Structure 1
């Protein structure tokens, strides 16, 4: 798997197992405008927990529950800042070396490191990994089983020889990835258990503006944002005639997402072959919504309802006008005709002096 700078900027792919993970991403860059030369991001279960960059030179917590670390280790963030700061020059030197090896000295260059561990809390199994990349391509990685380095590119062979000969460093890295890293991971999971274990399922709706518009599968109210939402046909995920939207935040700390399906070329008899699938990381069962006209909420219905309401309101107005006009005409007629004997007597009695 290639290590890309965007991996921690746009999110991590969905993980369907109950395995917990601790990952660190280091990115050193050269001639990237408006971007720090060195950025470090730490993540637990794909949730960012710590951030550092060469502009601020300060490691900061990205989750409130990470501040609990200070209770057990008051110097944690200061020590982390010093570690990251001390590696800045090493990263810059590595970029300069790799520029020479790849014979590309000008332009933008990116040096990346990804390392961490995974822990299955049910089986109590741990697994570590460490990979290096350059300009978006794999450069070298550590095989913890053989305690040797794998170099997929010729330019990395010199580094492989050097690091294979450093047995003490390799032994330390194996100990870190199989013992130290899982120890910290378990501690982080304990700190943020309430947040990390939170799973909110969404409400899923099918929406459509007009009969010829795409059908939108809209999921809202889910948490966390490690999800996938897609259309499929006959159980196979669709990539054509599909437009997937971004994950957006709601006001209540949950998220929403939508994916459109173009239906103009789909025969009515084939609709039953399509469905929308929502998948949430750590949740076994998917939410499946069939493509069914009876389930689609459309503006056409809303327009009909509005038309009916307008018609009824118009009828009420007309009736009111008729009533008012009728009353006015009646009054004019009543005033013009002479009073009846009964009416005349009542008026006269009102005019008599009281006893």
Structure 2
């Protein structure tokens, strides 16, 4: 296994990479003590910027910090967007939706996820934007026509209004086809190998109890474009597994897990199962066989437990003996002191 991992470390191949710039916007009304507008921006899944209506603008990643030092005009552009244009625009959009539903007050939340993806080989750029309102999917932008698609019947009225807003249409067209792609390309060009790198994970098999599912955990990989599956006889399983989400680690890498239910797996069949990790840009897969000696759990072997219990009993006995001896010693000493006092 170690030899396989060492070989894979050098299996980086030239392949196209799909880069992404994503922004997440929350505009709310009627919620005290939180900003009415919050914006976060990610480049290739790394959080780079945060701002809100409290006039707070933070650059979150070291690469982003050095990028804005070199290109301060981009930081100023985001500052103007964050503190002026975006809050006003999304407040108007929130008010527009409240008007559609005849809502004069109360707590309401508009959320938007958008941005662009860029293929560095074909130079193809795809923009996207989706709106949620009060916790439900609402509208999605058609990137070809820059008109809105209603995701719910009650969103049709909002679609008609927003499609008729020429200023809004120009805003989305310029953002998704010009500003965001230009920002992403310049950022990727500056970050270079930091974003193009590939890091392989460590893969472990974990199990809480003998009857629990076996979890295959891959952690420490980059980029996030990866897959983790259980296979039986080389065929991917779908019915007996539970897939977890890809989650970020504190160091900028990612982790993910997939559970295999053992209720229908006999011990004789274990060797037919394996966990397979695939990472974008790396030819070879990391394959981990389902074997008992590879599974890590919280159980302690009975022989070890016996030794531990015996040792604990002995230690406790010594403590009790020592305490009893000390009490006897103090008692006798006290009697001797009393004897001395009475003789005086």
Q: Which residue of 1 aligns with 2:61?
A: 63
Q: SS of 1:178's equivalent?
A: helix
Rounded Cα–Cα distance in structure 1 between residues aligned with 2:96 and 2:230: 46
Q: What does residue range 112-127 of structure 1 map to in structure 2 within 5 Å?
A: 112-127=111-126
Q: Which residue of 2 aligns with 1:197?
A: 196
| Equivalent residues of 1:68, 1:191 under 8 A apart | no
Rounded Cα–Cα distance in structure 1 between residues aligned with 2:245 and 2:72: 42
Cα distance, 1:60 vs structure 2:
1.8
RMSD: 3.8
Which consecutive residues of structure 1, in runs of 5 or more, have no partner in the other structure?
Answer: 1-15, 312-355
- Seen in structure 2, the aligned counterparts of structure 1 residues 249 and 118 have a Cα distance that, compared at 3 Å, is closer
Pairing partner for 1:82 from 80, 83, 102 = 80
Rounded Cα–Cα distance in structure 2 between residues aligned with 1:109 and 1:176: 25
Cα distance, 1:265 vs structure 2:
4.7
Rounded Cα–Cα distance in structure 1 between residues aligned with 2:252 and 2:172: 38
- Seen in structure 2, the aligned counterparts of structure 1 residues 179 and 74 have a Cα distance that, compared at 3 Å, is closer
The number of residue pairs the alignment matches comes to 293
| Equivalent residues of 1:60, 1:77 under 8 A apart | no
Q: Max radius of gyration: which structure? A: 1
Q: Which residue of 1 aligns with 2:236?
A: 235
| Equivalent residues of 1:109, 1:135 under 8 A apart | yes
| Equivalent residues of 2:25, 2:113 under 8 A apart | yes
| Equivalent residues of 1:59, 1:78 under 8 A apart | no
| Equivalent residues of 2:35, 2:52 under 8 A apart | yes
| Equivalent residues of 2:19, 2:119 under 8 A apart | yes
Rounded Cα–Cα distance in structure 2 between residues aligned with 1:268 and 1:205: 19
Rounded Cα–Cα distance in structure 2 between residues aligned with 1:50 and 1:204: 31
Rounded Cα–Cα distance in structure 1 between residues aligned with 2:299 and 2:164: 72
Q: SS of 2:72's equivalent?
A: coil
Q: Which residue of 2 aligns with 1:342?
A: none
Offset from partner CA, 1:297-332 (integer Å, 9 cap, x none): 566786657879999xxxxxxxxxxxxxxxxxxxxx
Rounded Cα–Cα distance in structure 2 between residues aligned with 1:117 and 1:101: 29
Cα distance, 1:50 vs structure 2:
0.8
Q: Which residue of 2 aligns with 1:36?
A: 35
**Is it true that 1:139 corresponds to 2:138 in the alignment?**
yes
- Seen in structure 2, the aligned counterparts of structure 1 residues 53 and 212 have a Cα distance that, compared at 3 Å, is same
Rounded Cα–Cα distance in structure 1 between residues aligned with 2:247 and 2:271: 27
Q: SS of 2:56's equivalent?
A: coil
Cα distance, 1:275 vs structure 2:
3.0
| Equivalent residues of 1:117, 1:129 under 8 A apart | yes
| Equivalent residues of 2:100, 2:157 under 8 A apart | no
- Seen in structure 2, the aligned counterparts of structure 1 residues 248 and 301 have a Cα distance that, compared at 3 Å, is farther
**Is it true that 1:20 corresponds to 2:19 in the alignment?**
yes
| Equivalent residues of 2:16, 2:120 under 8 A apart | no
Q: Which residue of 2 aligns with 1:182?
A: 181
Offset from partner CA, 1:267-305 (integer Å, 9 cap, x none): 223434533233445556543323223533566786657
Q: Which residue of 2 aligns with 1:332?
A: none
- Seen in structure 2, the aligned counterparts of structure 1 residues 170 and 28 have a Cα distance that, compared at 3 Å, is closer
- Seen in structure 2, the aligned counterparts of structure 1 residues 177 and 216 have a Cα distance that, compared at 3 Å, is closer
Cα distance, 1:172 vs structure 2:
5.7
- Give the TM-score normalised by the residue count of structure 2: 0.68
